[in-house]
Amino acid sequence: MRLRPNARILIRCPDQPGIVAAVSGFLAHWQANILTSQQHSTDPEGGYFFMRMVFDAGAIEEADRQRFEAAFAREVATPFAMDYSIKWPGPGPRMAIMVSKADHALLELLWRWRNGELLGSVELVVSNHEKARDVTQSFGVPFHCLPVTPDTKTEQETELSHLLASAEVDLLILARYMQVLSPAFVQRWHGRVVNIHHSFLPAFVGADPYRQAYERGVKLIGATAHFVTDELDAGPIIAQDVRPVSHREGVPALKRLGRELERSVLARAVEAVLDDAVMVHENRTVVFDR
Amino acid sequence: MRLRPNARILIRCPDQPGIVAAVSGFLAHWQANILTSQQHSTDPEGGYFFMRMVFDAGAIEEADRQRFEAAFAREVATPFAMDYSIKWPGPGPRMAIMVSKADHALLELLWRWRNGELLGSVELVVSNHEKARDVTQSFGVPFHCLPVTPDTKTEQETELSHLLASAEVDLLILARYMQVLSPAFVQRWHGRVVNIHHSFLPAFVGADPYRQAYERGVKLIGATAHFVTDELDAGPIIAQDVRPVSHREGVPALKRLGRELERSVLARAVEAVLDDAVMVHENRTVVFDR
Amino acid sequence: MRLRPNARILIRCPDQPGIVAAVSGFLAHWQANILTSQQHSTDPEGGYFFMRMVFDAGAIEEADRQRFEAAFAREVATPFAMDYSIKWPGPGPRMAIMVSKADHALLELLWRWRNGELLGSVELVVSNHEKARDVTQSFGVPFHCLPVTPDTKTEQETELSHLLASAEVDLLILARYMQVLSPAFVQRWHGRVVNIHHSFLPAFVGADPYRQAYERGVKLIGATAHFVTDELDAGPIIAQDVRPVSHREGVPALKRLGRELERSVLARAVEAVLDDAVMVHENRTVVFDR
Amino acid sequence: MRLRPNARILIRCPDQPGIVAAVSGFLAHWQANILTSQQHSTDPEGGYFFMRMVFDAGAIEEADRQRFEAAFAREVATPFAMDYSIKWPGPGPRMAIMVSKADHALLELLWRWRNGELLGSVELVVSNHEKARDVTQSFGVPFHCLPVTPDTKTEQETELSHLLASAEVDLLILARYMQVLSPAFVQRWHGRVVNIHHSFLPAFVGADPYRQAYERGVKLIGATAHFVTDELDAGPIIAQDVRPVSHREGVPALKRLGRELERSVLARAVEAVLDDAVMVHENRTVVFDR
């Protein structure tokens, strides 16, 4: 597993002069070299300001981190009314992946995780089918099958919540999981569920988007990774990509070609989320280049 | 002006064995070498068959062309129940371009036409504003201003029809023309009006698509060239393209970046139509590679 | 395993009038419906003509195929001096994959093969390292380790030849195999070895192309799939792709990003070769769209 | 003409802790809100640090700017051994464009300039041919023809230098200028000449790159904008792009398709340079996203 190699401060606050000076002055005082820094303002006059600073925490001993955090809250965060988080070097988020029958997006994530490309760990895989059991277990990852029928849906979601809680999961990835989660569940996991939709949203919301794309005769097909919210396929978009198609491709060919897109778009989105590069503001994302 | 350098046969008929043999046998009998040939079948069992054959008409003297056409109708087209057309070397379609205030797509077409890249001629430009007059006339192309108000709309469309008729226009290009044409006009020009829409259709139909794209927070913006039909922005798609954007771009930046897309997508679609490479079937296009 | 679902004729001959008529007339006579057809001429006057016709062989019983082939040779191929091949429905080429330590391109192919996306079979994997043994065997594919030192190179290549012969391999895929094969071996396998090179050839021939790319400061990195010939990285190109990079990416990041390209470009090239869509002419390829 | 709407500080110095704090603290002291900020370090241990800070100069009256600059030099730049520049709101760089016969890249720049998309002004166009005179003058830009023969080369370059000096040109754009400038001239204009090369460098250096690309049989063609240095086509790369091609395109088609690439890649590079977003380090560029 790959560890987060350095520390980060993530900030969201009303924009005003002096924010960068305050944060960077604080870090300089603690001898912490800024490695990369990205910022975004929705509007310098009365808008919101977003910042991701990656810094070398080497000069700050573990014993001093609590003191660092308290000082930051008092001296910087409070005066500027910041929403913020500080992340120290070490293990990244703990993920669960949910999947139905199509296992290509699951496999892509398991692969990248095994290759040390993800700043987080895959703790378990949950599916409403048995199909992905063998491949999941061959990566040494626990697999749970929770078949869903209209009658068992509530009960299975309770079981799912138990599984996620006992594995201390931080982030839930829907890698072509074809069931809709309940509003209550989505609410509880707000901002922590990433889904891959197999179209260029907002085109072709809902079921069978490749058939919809075929019927509309589009010349590009797409995939969209987004945070899940109450409204179907309408949450904040993290990543999107497309590829050209022509009159030659029928629905099965679109599905086959689309699989490659879905894999890479979901993996790109998950990598950005794990790297603390994605912030949400009014149903839109800020995705910092790293 | 660039002339169509060789002859073409375009065919649409129910699929069955023997079509290619019949057409190519006919051409071989007339000593006409096939230069390129593309075909497509929606379904070999009971579907539709489309073909575009480009052939060297050098061996067929102009005096014999009528005889060639009559023989083709009798020996090939009738037995296979073909919709078809035969085009001989010579001048391509005569175009009119309509535009409102933004002139980037107009200029792109005028430029390519002047450079001899288009297999057709620009006969006139019509606008509901005066803005594009100077640049149009600097290319030696007649410019007509037909301002549109709710009251004058019908009358101006009659005037437009007269202008198109007297210039013997075959193909009408809406290069960011922001008025909606009447159903009656669209009906009369069915299959002969190409529009550029500034989004990746079917996402963001209608007005101000860049604002819609900004608000949805998409990570790609697009442009779509399509034939105009009764239903707004819902006609057969000829070409589409996208480019990546991020949280950094506001609506004005999306508009600026989108202009480059609109120019290239419309030009690509117009070039394909002029080159007899686009066929329509049930609101979808077959666009042959040339 | 996916079987070739229909029959094909692949043709290469000097261009002249009547070729399409002869082939399609022959097929019509045998009641064989042409499903798709692609053709290319390097020059209608004295150039070469290439064609790939896919046809429904359902009307031709297996017992009649030899007669079909003899008739085609006599009536069509000989008069037009064709190089050609006829492929009937059934199993596709038998592949061997060679790999060194990096297994991403190998896994991509094994995966697509298992998913039934390849028109051919993976018969064995050969490596100069043990690393890929477990993953290969988890797909049920035999794995052979042939470590190479300057002293053992000739001997190991003899062993490789035996392995390929006894598995009746038709096509050899170098999926990041980092040893150079001998000229004699390459000669024997001419036109049947596909390699993936981790740059946009002809830029960055030879070793460590990502380091070369970093040092040159390019803004795109690429991958190239090509047939192997005597000259290093100079054989006919089958497929290429690129993706944008910036000053932010060092060599390790370029390698990581490049893996995704290498996987998709090699897979695309192998799929085209297995689908009989690639023909070679004077160190250039004709790659037909299917 | 579009004016630079805000102020910028561009910095290059050895990396060490405290740089961001020093600069942002300085700006906060002057009440200057940071609008966007980008930074890059080649290596936090002993590498070089690059920064571009865009700030609102509204609180700094013009009369105080000299004092601001002196204080910055003393308090920030000197302690950190910075190469730096400060740019105030106002007119951007003054450009000259050089061109030979093909005028597509010239026109693209003139267009964008006229549309107010460039943060700089086109002061003159110089060519070794008369061809571009009319179109240049239609934009109200002075045109100078300096035909070049082996005998007149030195003399014409002297004349060119006079023209550039008297128009107070800051930036020279070679928009398909097919003559090689002398080493002495290039030396004098080091870092201030941008060229568009019609290939994906470093592939196909030198003359007739589309023919080279055709002969190598590549499946993508490209264009590269770079700063001009002594070594032909080897200077720091600013922007690159490619588009797919196939066996169907001969050299003329590659040239035609390539024109669109050349236009957009050169325009993108020029826009980045004019926006102070490009810094050079050891033959590689840092190109900040804006």
Say yes or no for a CB contact (<8 Å) between B236 and A217.
yes
- C-to-D residue pairs, Cβ atoms closer than 8 angstroms: 73
Task: Collect all residues of chain D within an 8 Å Cβ-Cβ radius of residue B104.
Answer: 111, 115
Work out the end-to-end distance of chain C between its first and last CA atoms, rounded to an integer number of angstroms: 20
Residue in B with minimal Cα distance to D35: B248
| Candidates B15, B151, B170, B233; catalytic one | B233
The Cα A111–Cα A125 span in angstroms is 14
Tell me the pLDDT tens digit for each residue of B217-255. Answer: 999 999 999 999 999 899 999 999 999 999 999 999 999
Closest CB to B138: pick one of D138, D260, D290: D138
Tell me the pLDDT tens digit for each residue of B9-21. Answer: 999 999 998 999 9
Task: Collect all residues of chain B within an 8 Å Cβ-Cβ radius of residue C18.
Answer: 28
Decide the pairing of beta strands A193-197 and A171-174: parallel
The Cα A245–Cα A277 span in angstroms is 31
Q: Write the burial class of residue A281 (CB in 10 Å: 0-12 exposed, 13-18 middle, 19+ buried).
A: middle
Closest CB to C34: pick one of B20, B32, B56: B20
Q: Which residues of A touch C (CB under 8 A)?
A: 104, 107, 111, 115, 117, 138, 246, 248, 256, 260, 264, 289-290
What is residue A45's predicted lDDT score, i.e. its pLDDT? 85
Average pLDDT over residues A127-149: 95
Q: Which residues of C touch B (CB under 8 A)?
A: 15-22, 24-25, 27-28, 31-41, 44, 56, 289
Q: pTM score, two decimals?
A: 0.95
Asked whether the beta carbons of C69 and C88 are under 8 A apart, the reply is: no
Tell me how close the Cα of A22 comes to any Cα of chain B, in angstroms. Answer: 23
Residue in C with minimal Cα distance to A138: C138
Tell me how close the Cα of C153 comes to any Cα of chain B, in angstroms. Answer: 46
| Candidates A233, A241, A275, A289; catalytic one | A233
Asked whether the beta carbons of C35 and B41 are under 8 A apart, the reply is: yes
pLDDT at residue A290 greater than cutoff 90: no
Closest CB to D117: pick one of B138, B256, B289: B256
Say yes or no for a CB contact (<8 Å) between C33 and B44.
yes
pLDDT at residue B143 greater than cutoff 80: yes
Task: Collect all residues of chain C within an 8 Å Cβ-Cβ radius of residue D201.
Answer: 203, 216, 218
Tell me the pLDDT tens digit for each residue of D176-197. Answer: 999 999 999 999 999 999 999 9
The Cα A116–Cα A123 span in angstroms is 15
Say yes or no for a CB contact (<8 Å) between A256 and C117.
yes
Nearest residue to C247 via CA among B23, D277, D88: D277
Closest CB to D36: pick one of A27, A32, A39: A39
- CATH placement of domain A7-87: 3.30.70.260
Domain B94-287 sits in CATH 3.40.50.170: yes
What is residue D203's predicted lDDT score, i.e. its pLDDT? 93
Tell me how close the Cα of B278 comes to any Cα of chain A, in angstroms. Answer: 11
The Cα C9–Cα C32 span in angstroms is 12
pLDDT at residue D41 greater than cutoff 80: yes
Tell me the pLDDT tens digit for each residue of D156-182. Answer: 999 999 999 999 999 999 999 999 999
Residue in B with minimal Cα distance to D117: B256
Residue in this structure with the two tokens 């460098």, named with its chain if needed:
D201
Residue in this structure with the two tokens 């390929």, named with its chain if needed:
C164
What is residue D54's predicted lDDT score, i.e. its pLDDT? 96
Task: Collect all residues of chain D within an 8 Å Cβ-Cβ radius of residue A22.
Answer: 28
Say yes or no for a CB contact (<8 Å) between B28 and C39.
no
| Candidates D233, D241, D276, D289; catalytic one | D233
Residue in A with minimal Cα distance to D289: A289
**HSE-up of A135 (CA within 13 Å, CB side)?**
22
Residue in C with minimal Cα distance to A265: C260
Closest CB to B242: pick one of A202, A216, A242: A242
Task: Collect all residues of chain A within an 8 Å Cβ-Cβ radius of residue B242.
Answer: 200, 220, 242
Closest CB to C219: pick one of D203, D240, D247: D240
Closest CB to C28: pick one of B18, B31, B33: B18
Tell me the pLDDT tens digit for each residue of B22-56. Answer: 999 999 999 999 999 999 999 888 899 999 999 99
- The percent of residues in chain B predicted with pLDDT above 70, rounded, is 100
Residue in C with minimal Cα distance to B290: C40
Q: Which residues of B touch D (CB under 8 A)?
A: 104, 107, 111, 115, 117, 138, 246, 248, 256, 260, 264, 289-290
The Cα C114–Cα D149 span in angstroms is 65
The Cα D189–Cα D172 span in angstroms is 8
pLDDT band at A66 (very low <50, low <70, confident <90, very high): very high
- DSSP one-letter string for chain A: -PPB-SEEEEEEEE--TTHHHHHHHHHHHTT--EEEEEEEES-TTT-EEEEEEEE--TTS-GGGHHHHHHHHIIIIITTTT-EEEEE-SB---EEEEEE-S--HHHHHHHHHHHTT-SSSEEEEEEESSSTTHHHHHHTT--EEE----TTTHHHHHHHHHHHHHHTT--EEEESS--SPPPHHHHHHTTT-EEEEESSSTTTT-SS-HHHHHHHHT-SEEEEEEEE--SSTT-SPEEEEEEEE--TT--HHHHHHHHHHHHHHHHHHHHHHHHTT-EEEETTEEEE---
Say yes or no for a CB contact (<8 Å) between A41 and D27.
no
Task: Collect all residues of chain A within an 8 Å Cβ-Cβ radius of residue B203.
Answer: 200-203
Say yes or no for a CB contact (<8 Å) between C32 and B17.
yes
pLDDT at residue D1 greater than cutoff 80: no
Six token digits for residue B281: 């079937």
Task: Collect all residues of chain D within an 8 Å Cβ-Cβ radius of residue C278.
Answer: none
What is residue D46's predicted lDDT score, i.e. its pLDDT? 87
Domain borders along chain B are 7-87, 94-287
| Candidates C43, C56, C208, C233; catalytic one | C233
Distances (CA, A) of B31 to B27, C17, C41, C244: 6, 7, 17, 50
What does the pLDDT profile of chain C (290 residues) look like in tens digits?
Answer: 689 999 999 999 999 989 999 999 999 999 999 999 999 999 888 899 999 999 999 889 999 999 999 999 999 999 999 999 999 999 999 999 999 999 999 999 999 999 899 999 999 999 999 999 999 999 999 999 999 998 999 999 999 999 999 999 999 999 999 999 999 999 999 999 999 999 999 999 989 999 999 999 999 999 999 999 999 899 999 999 999 999 999 999 999 999 999 999 999 999 999 999 999 999 999 999 98
Tell me how close the Cα of C148 comes to any Cα of chain D, in angstroms. Answer: 32
The Cα A130–Cα C271 span in angstroms is 30
Residue in D with minimal Cα distance to C218: D237
pLDDT at residue A1 greater than cutoff 80: no
Tell me the pLDDT tens digit for each residue of B51-100. Answer: 999 999 988 999 999 999 999 999 999 999 999 999 999 999 999 999 99
Closest CB to B21: pick one of C27, C38, C289: C27
Asked if domains A7-87 and A94-287 share a fold, the reply is no
- The percent of residues in chain A predicted with pLDDT above 90, rounded, is 93
What is residue A44's predicted lDDT score, i.e. its pLDDT? 82
Say yes or no for a CB contact (<8 Å) between B17 and C33.
yes
How much is the ipTM here?
0.93
Q: What is the mean pLDDT of chain A?
A: 95
Closest CB to A260: pick one of C104, C246, C264: C264
The Cα A139–Cα C32 span in angstroms is 49
Long-range contacts of D208-213 (CB under 8 A, 24+ apart): D210/D251, D210/D254, D210/D255, D210/D258, D211/D251, D213/D254
Distances (CA, A) of C69 to B269, C8, D122: 43, 12, 68
What is residue D59's predicted lDDT score, i.e. its pLDDT? 86
Average pLDDT over residues D237-264: 96
Which of A218, A245, A280, A289 has the highest number of chain B CBs within 10 A, making it the mutation to test binding with B?
A218
Average pLDDT over residues A27-32: 94
Active site residue B64: no
Tell me how close the Cα of C49 comes to any Cα of chain B, in angstroms. Answer: 10
pLDDT band at A238 (very low <50, low <70, confident <90, very high): very high
Say yes or no for a CB contact (<8 Å) between A256 and C104.
no
Which of A20, A245, A290 has the highest number of chain D CBs within 10 A, making it the mutation to test binding with D?
A20
pLDDT at residue A124 greater than cutoff 90: yes
Strand, helix or coil at B250? coil
What is residue D290's predicted lDDT score, i.e. its pLDDT? 84
Q: Which residues of D touch C (CB under 8 A)?
A: 40, 200-204, 215-220, 222, 236-242, 246-248, 283-287
What is residue D157's predicted lDDT score, i.e. its pLDDT? 95
